[in-house]
């Protein structure tokens, strides 16, 4: 059974470059509600890529099942859209366990968390998305809950102050975060299994596009699937999103199958270029080049110039620019590389060029 206690993952009608300040909305996709997303893989076999992670988790799941114990607590970290939620749901299914989904930022009162923890069933999976955004005073209740399946909750004040000890059923906490560095060490240390999800390779994304096309009943050849893969910023969620935009386009244009020209035409409308960069990525690069002479510059200054949400820049824009070598993070701040200058057809400033050599 799946419970979604705060299903605020609303349908986002926007494309990747949405100007919204709400990180959740920006990174969510249409049809991507927790309970209903027919493109979401249901088994480890359907889940493409991340083979080392998959292998390690399936061993841990099978071993825990054999011992009839709850699985060790799991931490997934990495940029949005790479499969953290999907893997957690697959773990729950493979373990035949109940599953509860929570978003970290919505748990702002300790009593709420305690209420949820005390209602967990034996071996239930509690998934907390954006776990780094749980307030510290709430997070502290997770320490004994994770380690000893117990909560010490203070009640009353002054001379009436008491501590209530509550025993919990053995459960598994799966935390997902885009920012492992923001987790406190007592919390981080309590995860027995910790996995970094990295961007996907083109061949993996091609397979994801082909599988999703089959589910959506779309005709696509391998070359076209590869082209969508190349424009997906290494991210399955984006691959699926682009596929759906292209599906709309060919439907309106009365085309029977997806081909390179329909991909080019529809993605041009969406503002997605041949590298998969969207309008926000391009604005980021342009501001860095034009307003800050390529850097180094602090993220606060970039955020202010772009009038964009800082979390979106750090969690969504920068990881991919770093990955493709457009950006460097130095002790002095963010810095554009010569490859990024080439891409926007500009020459780097002279001193900048020398520093990068």
Q: Report the catalytic residues.
A: 84-85, 129, 178, 237
User: Shortest approach of ligand ADP to residue 217 CB, angstroms?
Assistant: 16
Q: Min. distance of Cβ 240 from ligand ADP in angstroms?
A: 5
| Residue number, 77 or 141, with CB nearest to ligand ADP | 77
How many whole angstroms separate alpha carbon 101 and alpha carbon 164? Answer: 26
User: How many CB atoms sit inside 10 A of residue 248's CB?
Assistant: 11
What is the DSSP-derived secondary structure letter of residue 305? H
Closest-approach residue to ligand ADP (CB) = 83
Helix/strand number for the chain, H first, E second: 16, 12
**Which residues fall within 8 angstroms of residue 221, CB to CB, at 6 or more apart?**
257, 258, 259
Q: What torsion, rounded to 10 degrees, do the Cα atoms 304, 310, 316, 319 define?
A: 80
219 CB-near residues (< 8 Å, 6+ apart):
213, 256, 257, 258
Least distance CB 258 / ligand ADP (angstroms) = 18
Measured between alpha carbons, how far is 88 from 83 in angstroms, rounded to an integer? 9
Angle ∠(221,226,230) on CA atoms, nearest 5: 155
- Residue among 123 and 177 whose Cβ is closer to ligand ADP: 177
Beta bridge partners of 176: 76
Q: Give whichever of 112 and 207 is closer to ligand ADP, judged by the CB atom.
A: 207
Name the residue nearer to ligand ADP (CB basis): 114 or 130: 130
CB 85, min distance to ligand ADP, A: 3
The distance of closest approach from Cβ of residue 357 to ligand ADP in the complex, given in angstroms and rounded to an integer, is 37
Q: Do the beta carbons of residue 15 and residue 248 sit within 8 Å?
A: no
Spatial distance between the Cα atoms of 202 and 180, rounded to a whole number of angstroms: 26
Q: Which is nearer to ligand ADP, 205 or 327 (CB)?
A: 205
Cβ neighbors of 5 (< 8 A, separation 6 or more) are: 100, 101, 102, 116
Contact 334, 295 (CB under 8 A): yes
The dihedral sign for the CA sequence 344, 346, 347, 348: negative
> Which token pair is 178?
């885009």
Binding site for ligand ADP (CB under 6 A): 32, 37, 39-41, 47-49, 80-86, 176, 208, 236-237, 240
CB 164 → ligand ADP: shortest distance, Å? 34
Which one, 78 or 296, has the nearer CB to ligand ADP? Answer: 78
């Amino acid at each position: 059974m799946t419970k979604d206690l705060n299903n605020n993952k609303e349908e986002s009608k926007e494309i990747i470059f949405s100007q919204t300040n709400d990180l959740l909305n920006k990174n969510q996709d249409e049809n991507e509600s927790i309970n209903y997303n027919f493109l979401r893989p249901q088994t480890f076999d359907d889940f493409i890529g991340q083979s080392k992670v998959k292998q390690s988790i399936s061993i841990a799941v099978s071993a825990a099942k054999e011992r009839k114990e709850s699985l060790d607590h799991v931490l997934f970290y990495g940029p949005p859209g790479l499969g953290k939620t999907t893997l957690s749901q697959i773990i729950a299914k493979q373990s035949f366990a109940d599953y509860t989904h929570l978003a970290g930022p919505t748990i702002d009162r300790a009593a709420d968390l305690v209420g949820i923890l005390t209602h967990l069933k034996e071996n239930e999976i509690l998934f907390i998305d954006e776990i780094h955004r749980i307030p510290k005073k709430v997070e502290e209740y997770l320490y004994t809950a994770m380690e000893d399946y117990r909560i010490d909750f203070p009640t009353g004040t002054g001379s009436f102050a008491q501590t209530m000890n509550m025993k919990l059923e053995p459960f598994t906490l799966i935390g997902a975060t885009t920012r492992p560095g923001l987790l406190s060490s007592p919390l981080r240390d309590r995860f027995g299994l910790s996995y970094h999800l990295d961007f996907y390779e083109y061949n993996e994304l091609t397979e994801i596009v082909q599988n999703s096309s089959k589910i959506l009943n779309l005709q696509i050849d391998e070359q076209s699937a590869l082209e969508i893969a190349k424009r997906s910023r290494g991210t399955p969620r984006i691959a699926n999103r682009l596929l759906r935009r292209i599906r709309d386009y060919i439907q309106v244009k009365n085309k029977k199958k997806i081909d390179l020209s329909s991909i080019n035409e529809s993605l041009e409308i969406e503002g997605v270029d041949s590298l998969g960069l969207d309008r926000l990525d391009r604005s980021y690069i342009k501001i860095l080049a034009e307003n800050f002479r390529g850097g180094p510059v602090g993220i606060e200054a970039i955020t202010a110039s772009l009038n964009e949400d800082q979390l979106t820049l750090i969690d969504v824009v920068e990881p991919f620019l770093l990955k493709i070598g457009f950006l460097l993070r130095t002790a002095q701040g963010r810095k554009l590389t010569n490859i990024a200058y080439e891409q926007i057809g500009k020459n780097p400033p002279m001193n900048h060029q020398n520093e990068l050599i």
